[in-house]
Chains A and B, each alone.
Chain A
Amino acid sequence: METYRSNIMICAGTGCVANGSLKVKDALETELIKRNLQKEVKVVLTGCNGFCAKGPVMVVYPEDIFYQMVKAEDVPHLVEEHFIKGRPVKKFLYTPPAQKDAIPVMNEIPFFKHQVLRALRNRSLIDAEKIEEYIARDGYLAAAKALTEMTPEQIVNEVKNSGLRGRGGAGFLTGLKWELCARVSGEIKYILCNGDEGDPGAFMDRSIMEADPHSVLEGMIVAAKAIGAHYGYIYVRAEYPLAVHRLQLAIDQAKENGLLGKDILGSGFDLDLEIYQGAGAFVCGEETALMASIEGKRGMPRPKPPFPAVKGLWQRPSVLNNVETFANVPPIILSGADWFASLGTEKSKGTKVFALSGALNNIGLVEVPMGIPLRTVIFDIGGGIKGNRKYKAVQMGGPSGGCIPESLLDTPVDYENINKTGAIMGSGGMVVMDETTCMPAMAKFFLEFTEDESCGKCVPCRVGNKTLLTILARITKGEGREGDIELLLDLSQQIKDTSLCGLGQTSPNPVLTTIKYFREEYEAHIKEKRCPARVCTPLVKFVVNDEKCKKCGTCFKACPAGAITWEKGKVAYIDPEKCTKCKSCIKSCKFWAID
């Protein structure tokens, strides 16, 4: 084995690859050969580093230097400075917003500093496509322990005592789910992994499958032993080609090495896993719909009970867990339930991975301890709101979740406390919105999504969501009627109470929470025919407000239609004849002076 003095870990997650990280890798390898450093410096492709906003990113060890936004043409300079002259290249270091000094060391950057990595424990540390690198970080030792030293009851108890709850969103105790299935007798059982991540703005599971596929397989081996399953599926949406590729590679490597298949590690235990690619229907994230989809049927949920633990896939007892849940399992087996439960709050143990997106400075993938205040996640890790705008709300749990306003930013992030706000923990999407977001329009966006994704099997979801959308559409068009808010509230509650599956039971949450926290915006739309965020075009007047206008002329320069007249020291004027209502003026104005 060669000794390298330095490792360059280049992020090859979907985000960084899209930004050209593979070209950077090629350039690095070429340049290292040119400089005759190829035997000293090793280039490694890793899964998602998490700091997607700054891609392509790389981490250089042993110095732990974090470089961002590196392009292929920058590589010769970088190699010369860092690897020959030994000084970090300032140009590619991260500087926090509104600060002067760059932070070279990765773990000193606020984005990384507040994180605790458990599910993402191998982040930026291993090559996702090499099983040896996973094994070197204690990989498959938990499977070995579970298969040779533990009884199914002991595994169930360890996971139950750890307090691990389903990371897909519902938060059911994982150990209890396994126990229910383990108790059911049956020759054939199935272990299933839910990688059908469908929330807009969520990419936690994709990142885990891309960065550390073996951790998912290992979690599944442990679970299979606990419930007595010898066959399993990983359900991944076909829109995740890189995740599918890396998982398949991982399965092939595991089989080749006897870590899957017959007599795993000489323990006598058999398990075969297979990937099933879904077509990307949101409802297939619901467990019974997912199983129907694997069976080759149309992806539709069915009433429960019987629960999948009793009658699941092909009518056999089955356990379905989320990707992140499985990734959490190996360290619990190795380090114990107490270690896992040492982090978190009373009823929510361990950590949670979140995908930060929206109006934030630091967009990316983060893992934080349960109980961390929402404010820390958004302002310290997320780096606050982009472009000096004001925070308005964060949508947690995607279309099934709700928004959380500024007054509740100190809410600790755990299942119970997030539920109290009306949002849900969900699978981990956090979409942050600033003052330029219109809440009724936001609710309408999510309802468009659920209306589209509703499978149509039950009436409350199929017709109810459609009706909610119709009401929201007329409100945002300026045709809202007196009593619409009450109608929305009433109908939402009925849809929640009577829908067949989780999709319908949660789809009104965006409507309910936006009304709960931003009712005045709905009233402004309905009664005053005004959109305070200037988003709903039919409700925007496109008139300059004399009192607010600072006569700066920014709107004049921004207008592509030549509809604005302005002279230095004078209030701008928008000619309604020429105005195309494109909102360029509104976006450019820093003083909210266009009504």
Chain B
Amino acid sequence: MAKLTIADLKKIKEEYHAGQALREGGFKVKITVHMGTCGIAAGARPIMNVILEELAKSGRKDIAVTTSGCAGLCSKEPMMTIELSGEAPVRYIALTEEKARKIFAEHVMAGKPVKEYALVVGHETTY
């Protein structure tokens, strides 16, 4: 390997930090793909792939992608919940790959929820 200069050092830092950022917290967006048996059967896996692909393209370091189990509305799977910090979570239903891409572009990147695909805004309560 060639000798590093200070500029190289900073480049490596940028490059690798992107891959490591998810260990450090401070996320602005949390994307949850619901991957219970129902979700997987309905096609949650391609949705997850699309999200990860878009995430890589965006280069954003402040987005956490995670999975959860069955959300309880099995007939409307695949589903995904997007939570921007400081805002109520939005749950999207009956997703396709195109819908997922649009949601990523508009809601995650631009901060505008895609109302026509959304089921509900806000947290579930138990009372």
Q: Which residues of A contact B (CB under 8 A)?
A: 1-7, 9, 40, 61-64, 83-87, 124-126, 132-133, 135-141, 144, 148, 256-259, 263, 265-266
Contact = CB atoms under 8 A, between A and B. Distances in A.
A85 B36 CA distance: 6
B32 interface: yes
Contacts of B66: 5-6, 62-63, 86
Contacts of A138: 13
B13 A135 contact: yes
Nearest to A254: B4
Contact of B69 (A3, A86, A140, A265): A86
A415 to B, nearest CB: 32
A126 B15 CA distance: 15
Contacts of B25: 62, 64
Contacts of B3: 257-258, 263, 266
A5 B45 CA distance: 13
B69 A136 contact: no
B75 interface: no
4 tightest A-B CB contacts, nearest first: A258-B3, A86-B67, A136-B16, A62-B64
A4 B22 contact: yes
B64 A265 contact: no
B35 A85 contact: yes
Given A6-B66, A132-B16, A61 B36 contact: no
B12 A135 contact: yes
A461 B24 CA distance: 50
The A contact surface, by secondary structure, is loop
12 contacts: A7-B22, A62-B23, A84-B40, A85-B35, A85-B69, A132-B15, A132-B16, A135-B9, A136-B12, A136-B13, A136-B20, A257-B4
Interface in B2-28: 2-6, 9-10, 12-13, 15-20, 22-25, 27
B23 A125 contact: yes
Contact of B18 (A1, A6, A85, A141): A1
Given A62-B25, A126-B20, A84 B35 contact: yes
Contacts of A258: 2-4
Given A62-B66, A86-B67, A136-B12, A125 B20 contact: yes
Most chain B beta carbons < 10 A, residue from A4, A7, A85, A148: A85
Interface residues of B, number: 37
B65 interface: yes
B109 to A, nearest CB: 15
A266 B5 contact: yes
A132 B18 CA distance: 12
Contacts of B12: 132, 135-136
Contacts of A62: 22-23, 25, 27, 64-66
Contacts of A141: 9-10, 13
A167 to B, nearest CB: 25
Contact of B23 (A61, A87, A263): A61
Interface stretch (B48-56, B82-90, B92-100, B114-122): B48-56
A1 B15 CA distance: 8
B6 A144 contact: yes
A136 B69 CA distance: 33
B110 interface: no
B16 A3 contact: no
Most chain B beta carbons < 10 A, residue from A9, A86, A144: A86
Contacts of A9: 23
A144 B13 CA distance: 13
Contacts of B55: 3, 5
A113 to B, nearest CB: 14
Contacts of B33: 86
Nearest to B14: A136
Contact of A3 (B15, B19, B27): B19
Contacts of A136: 12-13, 15-17, 19-20
B22 to A, nearest CB: 4
Contacts of B24: 125
A133 B22 contact: no
Given A40-B48, A256-B1, A258-B3, 14 more contacts: A1-B18, A5-B65, A6-B65, A40-B52, A62-B25, A62-B27, A83-B67, A85-B35, A85-B67, A125-B20, A139-B13, A263-B3, A265-B4, A266-B3
B16 A1 contact: yes
A86 B13 contact: no
Nearest to B45: A36
Nearest to B53: A3
A251 to B, nearest CB: 14
B56 A3 contact: yes
A62 B25 CA distance: 7
Contacts of B35: 84-86
A86 B32 contact: yes
A565 B3 CA distance: 78
A7 B23 contact: yes
B4 A87 contact: no
Contacts of B67: 83-86
Nearest to B5: A266
A207 to B, nearest CB: 19
A61 B6 contact: no
A9 B10 CA distance: 24
Contacts of A84: 35, 40, 67
Nearest to B30: A62
Most chain B beta carbons < 10 A, residue from A3, A63, A133, A138: A3
Contacts of A133: 16, 20
Nearest to B22: A62
A307 B12 CA distance: 41
A141 B10 CA distance: 8
A266 B9 CA distance: 12
B37 to A, nearest CB: 8
Nearest to B37: A85
B69 to A, nearest CB: 5
A140 B9 contact: yes
A388 B69 CA distance: 39
Contacts of B4: 257-259, 265
Contacts of A126: 20
Most chain B beta carbons < 10 A, residue from A9, A132, A141: A132
